[in-house]
Amino acid sequence: MLELDHLAVAGESLEEAVAHVEEALGVAMGPGGQHAHFGTHNQLIGLGDGLYLEAIAVDPAVGELPYARWFDLDRFEGVPKLGNWICRSDDLVADVAAIELDVGQPVKLTRGGLRWRMAVPKSGVLPFEDCFPALMQWDVSPTPATLLAPSGCTLVRLEVAHPDAARLHDAVPVRDARVVYVEGAAGLRATFDTPHGQRVLQ
């Protein structure tokens, strides 16, 4: 079974990605860490309902890698944006095999005491112009969603836009009332309840 786990905001730098989240939601992000395998780093905030949000970017202390980074970060440029949604699986190998798209193969990852696997395509680019969710499986408990202090923000709606929204909807094996598919230019738009009222992050 696949369930929404977290959202990722990408930036050319981590500082820019964090500033984008904090300006949009009006809350401060907490610390994160480094992902040695993909040469990236992040910061996090906890959301309600067992979710969390990360700001992520290529770590400038890491040089080029002999393989593509996750979340299509090798090609990222421009202003920060909500770039990916991530869903967790109880059986990642089986779920990847059941999806008739190139969602990648599981890669073992760590950050501090956290351990998980994520399906990452060799190109680093997920189907439907990165609008298909990244799939992962936690190999440790508790996870960030339960470890992070609450920020007072709760996801209300995640709009997944794509020119072929109906086909994308049918391809994603996740049914969550908060996730809505709309026709339009490929991209994500999230609405949150926050301590400052309803806010939008995109």
Q: Count the residues in the chain.
A: 202
**Portion of the chain with pLDDT greater than 70, in percent:** 100
Q: Has residue 160 got a pLDDT over 80?
A: yes
pLDDT, position 198: 98
pLDDT, position 123: 96
Q: Which of 69, 54, 73, 45 is nearest to 7 (CA)?
A: 54
Residue 51 DSSP label: -
Is 113 contained in some domain?
yes
Is the CB of residue 49 less than 8 Å from the CB of residue 155? yes
Domain of 127 in residue numbering reads as: 2-149
Is 174 contained in some domain?
no
Q: Which of 179, 143, 176, 142 is nearest to 161 (CA)?
A: 179
Is 90 contained in some domain?
yes
Is 95 contained in some domain?
yes
Residue 58: CATH number of its domain: 3.10.180.10
Quote the CA–CA distance of 135 and 85 in Å, as a whole number.
Answer: 9
Is 144 contained in some domain?
yes
Domain count, the chain: 1
Split at pLDDT 50, 70, 90, the class of 33 is very high
Burial of 152 (0-12, 13-18, 19+ CB in 10 A): middle
Is 187 contained in some domain?
no
CA distances from 99 to 34, 84, 174, 189 (A): 30, 18, 12, 24
3-state secondary structure of 15: helix
Tens-place pLDDT, residues 53-87: 999 999 999 989 999 999 999 999 999 999 999 99
Quote the CA–CA distance of 146 and 78 in Å, as a whole number.
Answer: 32
Neighbouring C-alpha atoms within 13 Å toward the C-beta of 43: 16
Is 70 contained in some domain?
yes
Is the CB of residue 139 less than 8 Å from the CB of residue 176? no
Quote the CA–CA distance of 200 and 178 in Å, as a whole number.
Answer: 14
Q: Has residue 45 got a pLDDT over 90?
A: yes
Tens-place pLDDT, residues 88-98: 999 999 999 99
Quote the CA–CA distance of 59 and 37 in Å, as a whole number.
Answer: 11
Q: Please state the pTM of the whole predicted model.
A: 0.96
3-state secondary structure of 147: helix
Is 57 contained in some domain?
yes
